[in-house]
Amino acid sequence: MEWMLKMVIPILMQIVGKLLSSENIQLYGDKLFDLIEDFVADSETTIDDATVLPIVKALRIGLNIPDNDH
């Protein structure tokens, strides 16, 4: 069993490394932030607009994930 783990772990690390490329982080981060922004904008309350949207904007800037859809 131990030898299987020694073989599988490097393969899994390669897959994770490819999934976490900067392009994928920006693409899926943008999609996630768009989803959050749309959900907040469509809600009836305005408190979340005043609190959540600025946080998302700050996260976009901090993580260097531009808003490509809006």
Question: Looking at the domain assignment, is residue 69 inside a domain?
Answer: yes
**Helix (H, G, I), strand (E, B), or coil: what is residue 1?**
coil
**DSSP string of 2-39?**
HHHHHHHHHHHHHHHHHHT-HHHHHHHHHHHHHHHHHH
- Total domains, the chain: 1
Q: How confident is the prediction along the chain (70 residues), in pLDDT tens digits per residue? A: 677 878 888 888 888 888 888 888 888 899 999 999 999 989 888 888 899 999 999 999 999 999 987 5
Question: Looking at the domain assignment, is residue 66 inside a domain?
Answer: yes
Domain residues for 33?
22-70
Question: Looking at the domain assignment, is residue 17 inside a domain?
Answer: no
Residue 70 has what pLDDT?
55
Residue 57 has what pLDDT?
94
Question: Looking at the domain assignment, is residue 42 inside a domain?
Answer: yes
CA distance 43 to 48: 8
Encoded amino acid at 52, one letter = V
